[in-house]
A and B are shown apart, each in its own frame.
Chain A
Amino acid sequence: MVPITPAHYLVLSASLFVIGVIGVLVRRNVIVILMSIELMLNAVNINLVAFAREWQHVVGQVFAVFVIVVAAAEAAVGLGIILAFYRNKETVNIDEMNLMKW
Chain B
Amino acid sequence: MSLIWLVPLLPGFGAALNGLLGIRFFSKRAAGLVACVTMGLAFGISIWAFVGLLGLAPAARAYDVVLATWIPPIPLETAHGIGAFEAPWGLRLDPLSGLMALVVTGVGFLIHVYSIGYMDGETRGAYARYFSYLNLFCFFMLTLVLGSNLLVMFVGWEGVGLCSYLLIGYWYEKQSASDAGKKAFIVNRIGDWGFVLGIFLVFFTFGTLDFRAVADAAASMPVEAAGFGTLSLICLLLFIGATGKSAQIPLHVWLPDAMEGPTPVSALIHAATMVTAGVYVVARNAVLFTHAPMVMQIVAIVGVLTALMAATIGLVQNDIKRVLAYSTVSQLGYMFLATGVGAFAAAVFHLMTHAFFKALLFLGSGSVIHAMAGDQDMRRMGALKKYMPVTYVTMLIGTLAIAGIPPFSGFFSKDEILYRTFLDNRLLWALAAVTALLTAFYMFRLMSMTFFGGYRGPAWQHGADAAPGGGHGAGHGGHGAWHGPHESPRVMTVPLMALAVGAIVAGFVGVPQALWGNNAIEHFLEPSFTASAAVRGEAVAGGADATTDAARAETGAEAAHEEGGAHLSRGAEWGLMLFSVLLAVTGIWIAWRNYVVRPQVAASLAERFAGPHRMLTNKYYVDELYGATFVRGTLDGARGLWTFDRRVVDGAVDGSGWITRLSAWISHMLDTYVVDGLVNLLGWVTGEGSYVLRRVQTGLIQNYALLMLIGVFGLLTLYLLTR
Taking beta carbons and an 8 Å cutoff, which residues of A are in contact with B?
Answer: 21, 24-25, 33, 94-95, 97-102
Contact status B700-A99, CB under 8 Å: no
Interface residues of B in 476-504 (CB under 8 A from A): none
Contact status A102-B701, CB under 8 Å: no
- With A and B bound together, what is the CA distance between A33 and B702 in angstroms? 10
- CB-nearest residue of chain B to A100: B699
- With A and B bound together, what is the CA distance between A94 and B706 in angstroms? 14
A32 to chain B, nearest CB (A): 12
Q: List 8 A-B contacts (CB under 8 A).
A: A24-B702, A25-B706, A33-B701, A94-B700, A97-B699, A98-B699, A101-B698, A102-B694
Contact status A101-B701, CB under 8 Å: no
- With A and B bound together, what is the CA distance between A78 and B132 in angstroms? 109
Q: Which size bracket describes the interface of B in this complex?
A: 10 to 19
Contact status A25-B700, CB under 8 Å: no
Given contacts A21-B709, A25-B706, A25-B709, contact A97 B694 (CB under 8 A): no
- With A and B bound together, what is the CA distance between A94 and B699 in angstroms? 10
Contact status A25-B702, CB under 8 Å: yes
- CB-nearest residue of chain B to A22: B709
B718 interfacial contact with A, CB 8 Å:
no
Across the interface, which residues of A come within 8 angstroms of B603, CB to CB? none
Contact status A25-B699, CB under 8 Å: no
Q: Mark B692-709, 1 if CB is under 8 A from A, else 0.
A: 001001111110011001
- With A and B bound together, what is the CA distance between A85 and B709 in angstroms? 26
- With A and B bound together, what is the CA distance between A8 and B172 in angstroms? 130
Contact status B700-A98, CB under 8 Å: yes
Across the interface, which residues of A come within 8 angstroms of B709, CB to CB? 21, 25
- With A and B bound together, what is the CA distance between A30 and B687 in angstroms? 34
- With A and B bound together, what is the CA distance between A99 and B698 in angstroms? 9
Across the interface, which residues of A come within 8 angstroms of B690, CB to CB? 102
- With A and B bound together, what is the CA distance between A32 and B698 in angstroms? 21
- With A and B bound together, what is the CA distance between A102 and B699 in angstroms? 8
Q: Which 10 A-B pairs have the closest CB atoms?
A: A101-B699, A98-B699, A102-B694, A101-B697, A100-B699, A98-B700, A102-B697, A25-B706, A24-B705, A25-B702
- With A and B bound together, what is the CA distance between A97 and B690 in angstroms? 22
Across the interface, which residues of A come within 8 angstroms of B697, CB to CB? 100-102
Given contacts A25-B705, A25-B706, A25-B709, contact A95 B700 (CB under 8 A): yes
- With A and B bound together, what is the CA distance between A35 and B151 in angstroms? 121
- CB-nearest residue of chain B to A24: B705
- With A and B bound together, what is the CA distance between A69 and B288 in angstroms? 131
B158 to chain A, nearest CB (A): 91
B315 to chain A, nearest CB (A): 113
Interface residues of B in 274-301 (CB under 8 A from A): none
Contact status A94-B694, CB under 8 Å: no
Across the interface, which residues of A come within 8 angstroms of B700, CB to CB? 94-95, 97-98
Contact status A101-B705, CB under 8 Å: no
A96 to chain B, nearest CB (A): 9
- With A and B bound together, what is the CA distance between A6 and B697 in angstroms? 41
- With A and B bound together, what is the CA distance between A95 and B700 in angstroms? 7
- CB-nearest residue of chain A to B693: A102
- CB-nearest residue of chain A to B706: A25
A26 to chain B, nearest CB (A): 8
Interface residues of B in 660-701 (CB under 8 A from A): 690, 694, 697-701
Interface centre among B690, B697, B700 (most CB of A within 10 A): B700
Across the interface, which residues of A come within 8 angstroms of B701, CB to CB? 33, 94, 97, 100
- With A and B bound together, what is the CA distance between A101 and B694 in angstroms? 8
B26 to chain A, nearest CB (A): 95
B697 to chain A, nearest CB (A): 4
